[in-house]
Amino acid sequence: MKTNRRAFLKSSAASATLLATNPFETMATTTSSNVRAGRMKFSFRPFTIEMKHVFTVAEMSRSTTPVVLTEVDYGGMVGYGEASMPPYLGESHETATRFLSQVDLSKYENPFQLETILADIDAIAAGNPAAKASVDIALHDLVGKLLNQPLSTIWGLDRSKAPLTSFTIGIDKPDVVRQKVKEAAAFKILKIKLGKDNDKEMIETVRSMTDVPLTADANQGWKDRAYALEMTHYLKEKGVKFIEQPMAKERFDDHAWLTERSPIPVLADEAFQRIGDLKKVSTCYSGIVVKLMKSTGLREAYKMLLLAKSLGMKTLIGCMTETSCAVSAASHLSPLVDWADLDGNLLIKNDVFDGMKVVDGKIVIPDRPGIGVVKIA
Ligand code: MG
């Protein structure tokens, strides 16, 4: 980093001016190789992800996802971030633009005070978790690059312990499901979407093609707790490891009833958003689904995972349909979890980053500083 800093200082006329006029910057820059002259500049641009297949979950189908790509430039070092906003979650290009227009990182001396900066970002307005995540991810990427280490290394995690990732099979007719399972042959675990009127047909169709372990997600689609309980026993017999969000997120008592009786873990996804939800959720579910677009980014996701694990809960890290930017960021937390569902970048046809890979079904965390992505478009 020292050599880089010298090269940067030599090449930047702007920083020379700043150094001459700002004694604090002079001190900071000469006492730490990671602090740079100048202030952070935040920018963002809306982008639309195009998906390879029409994607169907219990409530709807779609073929595009609006995202916002963010950058934090600090003396020529750039951190990348992303907000992914599936329409049913309520954020959009418009809401993210409104929120991110209020983000001013130039008032902070440097990016290292993440706890302070991200608390300020969170306080700009309620909600907007994906927009907040796009700032959090870019700042973490930047800090990792300044420290010249992958985030997983900074967190003290063993990259070789990254888990398998599941690949998601959406709800469809048997011939389409068979085709999708064929295409997913490289994956060692599949996640099956349930919650319409063909749950058993979905499982039977997949099982007619493969013996790999399965996981299941009803996306709140089940209306009746007795049916949900019967299904958990059926799923256990079929080699399904857990069920995600069986019933409506508001039905805490029904989920507590089901969790007590189910032979497989019951995970909260839609019912679990921010870390403050964990206390309630821990009394009704066996585990949580953490996603950066719900948690407002990496910082809170990391805290959620540690807290849930300390309570003996199961953990899964998942994603939305995202470019390799946000998915790679999440991959750095994956050595902490029981299960990972980081296939969002594999479902899209216009990725703009290179990052996390899946090799033999297993997550390979990029061995590069920060979140470890390279811009490819
Ligand atoms: Mg889910």
pTM across the whole model? 0.89
Residues 162, 185: contact at Cβ < 8 Å? no
Number of helices (H) and strands (E) in the chain: give both, helices first. 15, 15
Calculate how far, in angstroms, residue 75's C-alpha sits from the geometric centre of ligand 1: 39
DSSP bridge partners of 318:
291, 341
CA pair distance 208, 226, nearest whole angstrom: 27
CA pair distance 52, 57, nearest whole angstrom: 15
Domain ranges, ordered by start, for the chain: 26-148, 153-375
Calculate how far, in angstroms, residue 219's C-alpha sits from the geometric centre of ligand 1: 6
Crossing angle between the packed helical segments 298-310 and 114-123, to the nearest 10 degrees: 100
Calculate how far, in angstroms, residue 183's C-alpha sits from the geometric centre of ligand 1: 21
Calculate how far, in angstroms, residue 267's C-alpha sits from the geometric centre of ligand 1: 9
Calculate how far, in angstroms, residue 166's C-alpha sits from the geometric centre of ligand 1: 12
What does the CA dihedral 307, 311, 316, 318 come to, rounded to 10 degrees?
-40
CATH homologous superfamily of 153-375 equals Enolase-like C-terminal domain (3.20.20.120)
Q: What was the pLDDT predicted at 52?
A: 85
List per-residue pLDDT tens for the chain, 377 residues long.
444 444 443 444 334 333 334 333 433 443 456 778 789 999 999 999 998 877 665 566 788 999 999 999 999 999 999 999 999 899 999 999 999 999 999 999 999 999 999 999 999 999 999 999 999 999 999 999 999 999 999 999 999 999 999 999 989 999 999 999 999 999 999 999 999 999 999 999 999 999 999 999 999 999 999 999 999 999 999 999 999 999 999 999 999 999 999 999 999 999 999 999 999 999 999 999 999 999 999 999 999 999 999 999 999 999 999 999 999 999 999 999 999 999 888 889 999 999 999 999 999 999 999 999 999 98
Spatial strand order in the sheet of 167-169: 167-169, 190-193, 214-217, 240-244, 266-268, 287-291, 314-318, 339-341
CATH code given to domain 26-148: 3.30.390.10
| b (16+ CB within 10 A) / e for 250-284 | ebbebbebbbeebebbbbbbbbbbebebbeebbeb
Calculate how far, in angstroms, residue 217's C-alpha sits from the geometric centre of ligand 1: 6
Residues 316, 288: contact at Cβ < 8 Å? yes
Q: What was the pLDDT predicted at 15?
A: 40
Write phi, then psi, for 106 (nearest 5 degrees). -70, -15
Q: What was the pLDDT predicted at 8?
A: 40
Q: What was the pLDDT predicted at 27?
A: 37
Calculate how far, in angstroms, residue 270's C-alpha sits from the geometric centre of ligand 1: 7
Torsion sign, CA atoms 367, 338, 212, 343:
negative
CA pair distance 218, 221, nearest whole angstrom: 5
